[in-house]
Amino acid sequence: MLRSANFVGLLYLNLMSDVQDYIPIVLQSLVVLAFVVGTLVFAPKLGPKLSSAKKDANWECGIEADGNARFPISVRYFVIAILFVLFDVEVIFFYPYAVNFQALQLEGLMAVLIFVGFFLTGFIYVLKKGALEWEK
Partner 1 sequence: MLALIILFLTALVTLFVGFAKKPLLTLSLSVLGLLGTAAALICQWYHPSDFLSSYEGVNMDGFAILFSLVAIIFTILIIFSGFEQFKSRLDHTADYIGLLIFSLFGAIVMVSFQDMFMFFLGLEILSIPIYVMAGARKDDPLSSESSLKYFITGAFATGILLFGIAWLYGATGTFKIYEIQQFFMEAEQISSLAYVGLLFILSAFLFKIGAAPFHFWSPDVYDGAPAPVTGFMAAVVKLGAFGAFIKLFTIAFSELYDFWMPALTFLAILTMFVGNLSAIRQVRFKRLLAYSSIAHVGYSLITMVVLTNNSALNLWYYLFSYGFATIALITVQMIVNDREDRIEAFKGLGRANPFVGFVAVVALLALAGVPPLMGFFGKFLIFADAISQNPALIAVALLNSGIGIFYYLRTVIVILQKPGVDNEIEQSEFKTTPLQLIVLGICVLAMLFGGGLLMVH
Partner 2 sequence: MSVEQLLPLVLLLPLIGGFINGVFGNKLPKVVVGSLATLLVAGSFFIALSIFFQLDQAVEVKLFSIISLPDLTLNAKLLADNLSIWMTLIITGIGSLIHLFSMGYMSHDPGYRKFFTYLNLFIFSMLILVLGSNYFMLFFGWEGVGICSYLLIGFHYADEQKGFLNGIAARKAFIMNRVGDLGLLIGLFLLLMQFGTLEYSEIAAVVTAEDFVNPTWMMFGITMCLFIGATGKSAQIPLFTWLPDAMAGPTPVSALIHAATMVTAGIFLTVRSNYLFELAPDTQKVMLYIGLATSLVAAFIAMRQNDIKKVLAYSTVSQLGLLFVALGLGAYTAAMFHVTTHAFFKALLFLGSGSVIHAMSDEQDIRKMGGLKKYIPVTHWTFLIGTLAITGFPLLSGFYSKDEILGYAFAESIPLYLILMFSVLLTAIYMFRMYFLVFHGEFRGSDHQKHHLHESPANMTVPLIILAILSVFGGVLNLPGLFLHDQAHYMTHLYEHNVAGMNLIHMEHLPSNTIMVLMAVAVISCLAVLAISYQVYVKKKSLPKEDAQLTGWEKVSANKLYFDEIYTALFVKPIEWLSEKGYRFFEIVFLNGIVFGVAKGFETAGEVVKKWESGRVNWYVLWMVSGIVGLIIYYLVKF
| Contacts to partner 2 by CB under 8 A | 2-3, 6-7
Q: How far is CA 91 from CA 14, 35, 85, 114, in A?
A: 41, 37, 10, 14
Q: How far is the CB of 13 from partner 2 (least distance, A)?
A: 13
For partner 1 (CB under 8 A), the number of binding residues is: 9
Residue of 102, 128, 134, 135 interacting with partner 1 (CB under 8 A): 128
Q: How far is CA 99 from CA 84, 110, 129, in A?
A: 24, 16, 35
Cβ(79)–Cβ(131) under 8 Å? Answer: yes
18 in helix, strand or coil? helix
121: contact with partner 1 by CB under 8 A: yes
136: contact with partner 1 by CB under 8 A: no
For residue 6, the partner it binds in partner 1, partner 2, none, with Cβ less than 5 to 8 A by kind, is partner 2
Q: Quote the crossing angle between the two packed helices 101-129 and 75-99, to the nearest 10°.
A: 160
Residue of 14, 29, 39, 105 interacting with partner 1 (CB under 8 A): 14
**Residue numbers at the binding site for partner 1 (CB under 8 A):** 1-2, 7, 10-11, 14, 121, 125, 128
